[in-house]
């Protein structure tokens, strides 16, 4: 029985000696092997099985193929399995006093291997066949492939799985019409490149790739980016997203919950608006949304702090001279309640109030004064020099312009009057 993963063996004597471990695992092959007895074993009372040839743990690395052997029978002090679903676990041995830290393992294989180790610790039979103590072949370590690049249909694997240890997977020009579900079991994946295919829809389970930092979907047939993905674990992991050359017309409001994004490419889509809470993407540094159908930018766009911005080739409109007035006095009960909930940051959800009210609250506008408004507001348009939000700006047109119209919202007539200088 074997397990491929990264291993770090940490001596518990190090802190007492004022020393520290490296804090980094190495690629290894773990084997449960048959330990040959030194003397003829005695029969056990009660006919207990498995005691004649106790199993041991054998850890081999590329530098040490002969490996290190650890006895298991009545020698495991504790298992730490809180993150076993992420392919991580730690086994604490009594003798020698070490912690065997496992990571980047296939979670199902890891669970089975730990179960077998528990049986070995108790001296019970292990259903899987035990191996002999022999050096591991170099070919075993080839299974630790971390990068795979496929750029043609003929090279695409149909009959075998992707190596579970992959951290970077590129499958471009493969004619994929959907995301291969086998990719979604690659829990160590950090970079996924599905560019130049024919994918029309993304499965929500992409959000289960908890380490995914870069996602390239350039040149596909996507028409949307789902709310489920915006609210998945991608919120904490995703740094770079390329959605250019698709057919996306709008992004959901929840898109701005991907607050770890630093690079965002939206070129050559059919976008008619950007999420009006764009200002929440405080880590965004590179934004490209060239050749879309944007008539204006959202008001919170001015809160961004970018290094590079490209909005060339959009259909930006001239600012309207007269504002759009949708004020209603007195405020409706819905409007007043919504403003109170948002201003006081009262938690809400579909388990508390109806789902359509949650959607109304999620899409509320932000006044220049910082307060919120639902459907009762004044809408005005002004121009903004894009250099105020980005260090490097690509010209928005062939005339050398670097200005773009921005929509602003006002929760009251007083706010509009106080800001009238800005709208001139």
Among the candidates 201, 235, 270, a domain finishes at 270
Report yes or no on 17 lying in a domain: no
pLDDT number for residue 266? 97
Domain containing residue 218: CATH number = 3.80.10.10
Bridge partners of residue 150, in order along the sequence: 171
My answer on whether 71 and 156 are in the same domain is: no
My answer on whether 108 and 197 are in the same domain is: no
Report yes or no on 406 lying in a domain: no
Integer CA distances (angstroms), 352 to 330, 344, 346, 347, in order:
27, 17, 11, 9
pTM of the model: 0.72
My answer on whether 155 and 238 are in the same domain is: yes
pLDDT number for residue 48? 41
My answer on whether 92 and 201 are in the same domain is: no
Question: Which residue in the block uniquely carries the two structure tokens 């240890």?
Answer: 165
Q: Is the peptide bond before 96 cis (omega within 30 degrees of 0)?
A: yes
Report yes or no on 87 lying in a domain: yes
My answer on whether 154 and 258 are in the same domain is: yes
Report yes or no on 291 lying in a domain: no
Report yes or no on 82 lying in a domain: yes
My answer on whether 228 and 190 are in the same domain is: yes
Q: Do the strands 240-242 and 214-216 form a parallel or antiparallel pair, or are they unpaired?
A: parallel
My answer on whether 121 and 225 are in the same domain is: no
In tens, the pLDDT along 309-330 reads 999 999 998 877 778 888 888 8
pLDDT number for residue 185? 87
Report yes or no on 204 lying in a domain: yes
pLDDT number for residue 51? 45
Report yes or no on 413 lying in a domain: no
My answer on whether 156 and 223 are in the same domain is: yes
pLDDT number for residue 35? 65
Q: Which residues of 120-143 are buried (b: 16+ CB within 10 A; e: fewer)?
A: bbebbebeeebeeeeebeeebbee
* Helix axis angle, 333-343 to 355-362, nearest 10°: 70
205: which DSSP letter? G
Among the candidates 243, 270, 297, a domain finishes at 270
The Cα–Cα gap between 192 and 211 comes to: 11
Give the neighbor-by-neighbor strand order of the sheet with 378-385. Answer: 324-325, 378-385, 403-410
My answer on whether 109 and 180 are in the same domain is: no
My answer on whether 152 and 265 are in the same domain is: yes
Residues 6+ apart with CB under 8 A from 17: none
Among the candidates 230, 247, 270, a domain finishes at 270
Report yes or no on 162 lying in a domain: yes
pLDDT number for residue 267? 97
My answer on whether 157 and 117 are in the same domain is: no
As a whole number of angstroms, the longest Cα–Cα distance in the chain is 99
Alpha helices in 283-385 (DSSP H): 333-343, 355-362
For residue 72, the enclosing domain spans 1-9+65-128
Question: How many domains are contained in the chain?
Answer: 2
pLDDT number for residue 16? 53
My answer on whether 262 and 162 are in the same domain is: yes
The segments of the chain whose pLDDT lies below 50 read 19, 39-51, 423
């Amino acid at each position: 029985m074997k397990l491929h993963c990264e291993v770090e063996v940490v001596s518990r004597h190090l802190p007492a000696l004022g020393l520290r471990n490296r804090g980094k695992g190495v690629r290894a092959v773990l084997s449960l092997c048959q330990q040959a007895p030194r003397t003829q074993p005695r029969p056990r009372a009660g006919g207990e099985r498995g005691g004649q040839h106790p199993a041991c743990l054998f850890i081999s690395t590329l530098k040490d193929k002969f490996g290190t052997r650890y006895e298991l029978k009545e020698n495991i002090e504790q298992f730490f399995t809180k993150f076993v679903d992420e392919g991580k676990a730690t086994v604490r041995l009594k003798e020698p006093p070490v912690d065997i830290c496992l990571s980047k393992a296939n979670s199902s294989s890891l669970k089975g291997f730990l179960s077998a180790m528990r049986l070995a610790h108790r001296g019970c039979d292990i259903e899987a066949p035990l191996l002999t103590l022999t050096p591991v072949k170099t070919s075993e370590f080839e299974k630790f492939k971390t990068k795979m690049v496929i750029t043609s249909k003929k090279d695409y694997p149909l009959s075998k799985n992707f190596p579970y240890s992959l951290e970077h997977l590129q499958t471009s020009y493969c004619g994929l019409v959907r995301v291969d579900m086998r990719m979604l079991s690659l829990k160590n994946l950090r970079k996924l490149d599905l560019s130049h295919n024919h994918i029309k829809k993304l499965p929500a389970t992409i959000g289960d790739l908890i380490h995914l930092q870069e996602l390239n979907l350039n040149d596909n047939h996507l028409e949307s980016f789902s709310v489920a993905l915006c609210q998945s674990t991608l919120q904490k992991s995703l740094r770079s997203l390329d959605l250019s050359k698709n057919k996306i017309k709008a992004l959901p409001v929840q898109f701005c919950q991907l607050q770890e994004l630093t690079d965002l490419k939206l070129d050559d889509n059919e976008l008619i608006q950007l999420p009006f809470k764009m200002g929440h993407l405080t880590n965004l540094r590179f934004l490209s949304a060239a050749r879309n159908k944007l008539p204006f930018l959202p008001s919170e766009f001015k809160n961004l702090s970018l290094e590079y911005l490209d909005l060339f080739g959009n259909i930006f409109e001239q600012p309207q001279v007269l504002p759009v007035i949708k004020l209603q006095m007195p405020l409706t009960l819905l409007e007043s309640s919504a403003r109170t909930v948002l201003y006081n940051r009262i938690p809400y959800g579909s388990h508390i109030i109806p789902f359509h009210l949650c959607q109304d609250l999620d899409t509320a506008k932000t006044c220049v004064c910082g307060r919120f408004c639902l459907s009762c507001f004044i809408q005005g348009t002004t121009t903004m020099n894009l250099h105020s939000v980005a260090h490097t700006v690509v010209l928005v047109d062939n005339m050398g312009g670097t200005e773009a119209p921005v929509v602003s919202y006002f929760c009251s007539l007083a706010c509009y009057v106080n800001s009238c200088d800005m709208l001139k």
